[in-house]
Amino acid sequence: MTPTAQPKTTMPAEATLRQAVAKRDESFDGAFVYGVVTTGVYCRPSCRSRPAKPENVRFFANPTDAEAAGLRPCKRCHPRSVHDGTSQLMQGLAQYIDENADEPMPLARLAKQAHLSPAHLQRKFKAVLGVSPKTYQDAARLKRLKSGLKSGQSVLDSIADAGFQSTSRVYGATTRNLGMTPSAYRAGGEGETIAYACRGTALGPLLMAATDRGVCFAQFGKNAAALITQLKSEFPRATVVASNMAESPELDAWIRAFEAHIDGSAPRPDLPLDLRGTAFQIRVWRFLLKVPEGDVISYAELATGIGAPKAVRAAASACAANRIAVLVPCHRVLRGDGGLAGYRWGLERKRALIDHERAGRGL
């Protein structure tokens, strides 16, 4: 099956790319490569080879993409070794950020660590990791915060240990990623009410649960009892209640709409979602929400689509961590060879969902 959802590129604008090649700007080495269709060769931006006619030049995010287009590496500038070296350097810098996430990390400090200018470092880091150093550090701090909260550490100590400079900043940033306040997260959802409803569907028993922000859990299982146990393990201190009009007037209607979609009698319902995960996981899940019904993409295309082409395994892990079946459509991601790969709710369900969506579009 050929995917029709086109991943977003993470390269700069074409005018910037052409300017970098014209100036042979070494700061862009590792950020992209360019190929010349008349010679069948691709180069790094700073290559000293004879300039090609603009209409013969093509740009690629990395050597793999250039080689997939039938080009071979330049023997003069060795673009693959430069790109791989840059990737290794930036991965090492990412590890440095992880290990020191609680400390102030101005761009100048990171640039000194990498022996690059701040502007060059910013550009190369984003080309390899898909996000800026600051965004990466914010995600690393959030990971530390969640770890501290889960271990039972106090909210203020967890915030301080994670390196956040004020409670106002952490509450503003983390509620978008945790889906709840830090104190509620530490308490396993304590103080929150999560309502659930369970139904039999064409794909087996389904339990859907929601907070006042939206659906936070939608999973298939063996039976209702097992699904309720799983829900409670996700939110051990929340008040988990069976749905009724007093607790969640929307949930019963939502699950009926979802069930109708599974049975093939209605389109996928557009329900509010309460996504809870790391910054990286949420980027993956939000990208999946943009993949049209009936389309499929590979894990490599997913990683490229979120701006982190090297993070294929991490993107696959984010799919595996998805708690909201079908509504966050991780079933639309396949192996590069078109194989189904894994699916936490079973490959038969994955195949059935893809076939159903494609049939709905007449594919």
- Residues with a catalytic annotation lie at 43, 330
**Distance of alpha carbon 103 from alpha carbon 141, whole angstroms:** 10
Q: 203 is written with which tokens?
A: 């794909």
> 49 φ, ψ to 5°?
-70, 165
CA distance 324 to 209: 9
Q: How many other β-carbons are positioned within 10 Å of the β-carbon of residue 190?
A: 15
C-alpha span between 61 and 9 (Å, rounded): 8
Distance of CA 20 to the CA centre of its chain: 29
**Four-point Cα dihedral 123, 129, 132, 135, nearest 10:** 180
Please state, in angstroms and as integers, the Cα–Cα distance from residue 45 to each residue in 54, 119, 309, following that order.
14, 16, 19
With CA atoms as reference, report the closest residue to 185 among 160, 211, 164.
211
Separation in Å, CA 233 to CA 154, 174, 188, 228, 236: 21, 21, 9, 9, 5
Angle at 108 between CA 104 and CA 113, to 5 degrees: 90
The one-character DSSP state at 324 is: B
Chain centroid, CA 99 distance in Å:
22
**Is residue 309 classed as helix, strand or coil in its secondary structure?**
coil
The helix or strand, by DSSP H or E, that contains position 147, with its residue range, turns out to be helix 133-150
